[in-house]
Amino acid sequence: MFSNLKSKTVLVTGGAGFIGSNLCEALLKLGAKVRCMDNLSTGFMHNIEPFLNHKNFQFIEADIRDLESCQSACLQVDYVLHQAALGSVPRSINDPITTNEINVSGFLNMLVAARDQNVKRFVYAASSSTYGDSTKLPKKEDEIGTPLSPYAITKYVNELYASIFKSSFNLNTVGLRYFNVFGKKQDPKGAYAAVIPKFVIQLINHQAPVINGDGSNSRDFTYIDNVIRMNFLVLTTKSEAALNQIYNTAVGDRTTLIQLVHSLKKYLSKFDPAIANVKEIYGPNRLGDIPHSQASIDKAVKLLNYKPSHDFESGLKNAVDWYWESFKS
């Protein structure tokens, strides 16, 4: 379906991270030439180790806060998939300065480099956190609220900068607002681990998962294959109307945290029946969190002919199989 990516040169920033490394793998399978740039602050060499000797893969250890490195990475590149960022709402509250340096100044460096090196398309990871305190469901791209965290502010600023680089420099950009992405290669460790791999490793170890709030908070959990699909649709679309847009990247549904825990127990207990009896516990809501998140994917369906390849349950089942093999020891 995406055969026209063959022989294209694609720079993936943050390519040793969870989403970035999955994009690198999928691009290589299509026959693209992949340049991976990562400073390894939150990415890992083991995510890209299988590709290091691939003839079409190049790894550059560099930081997007360094403009010269960004310029070098963009040399003779057709497309940029910009995934590099310092994620996590709580981390941004604890350290807003570093979050801003990477997510805003680093992002601007990449835009400048892409402009200077005549990159054809610049596709970047935006965020559902941009919807802020808006209570409308489902979330539509042109209806946002006030950001609730430094992280959310930085991701909104990215969208503003991208728009200006189109109007001022004719750089084609597309922002993909990711909604709670999960899947293989997602790190379960650390203070800022995402909820699904964190709960998985707790359940595997027969530890009670801690749910923030009463369990009714809901998210549009989105399997990694849907994210890859959206990135590739943007890279290959021939529609000018589809470019220089913001798109929700999601399933278009929502699952509560307690439903998530029950589904994880169901899929994990086929490997270890004792997991079904692990009891969850409840803690306070996290500062900066929104109660409910659900995307409208109508815009992506209309302009990109997007259709999710996996709903929440089918994606979670696939992910749990991978998590079990990776984390059980």
Q: Where are the domains of the chain?
A: 3-182+223-253+294-310
What are 85's strand-pairing partners? none
pTM metric for this prediction: 0.95
Catalytic residue flag (residue 151) = yes
- Residues in the chain where the model's pLDDT stays below 70: 190-192, 288, 329
The highest-level CATH class for domain 3-182+223-253+294-310 is alpha beta
Distances, alpha carbon 151 to alpha carbons 105, 188, 194, 227, in Å: 13, 20, 15, 20
Q: What is the pLDDT of residues 231-276, one digit of tens each?
A: 999 999 999 999 999 999 999 999 999 999 999 999 999 999 999 9
pLDDT of residue 283: 86
Select which of 79, 124, 131, 151 is catalytic.
Answer: 151
pLDDT of residue 290: 78
CB 77 within 8 A of CB 9: yes
pLDDT of residue 89: 84
| Contacts (Cβ under 8 Å, ≥6 apart) of 106 | 63, 64, 65, 84, 85
DSSP 40: S
pLDDT of residue 328: 74
Question: Tokens representing 81?
Answer: 């998939």
Q: What gap in Å lies between CA 173 and CA 121, rounded to an integer?
A: 6
Question: Tokens representing 218?
Answer: 């809901």
Exposed/middle/buried for residue 142 (C-beta within 10 Å: 0-12, 13-18, 19+):
exposed
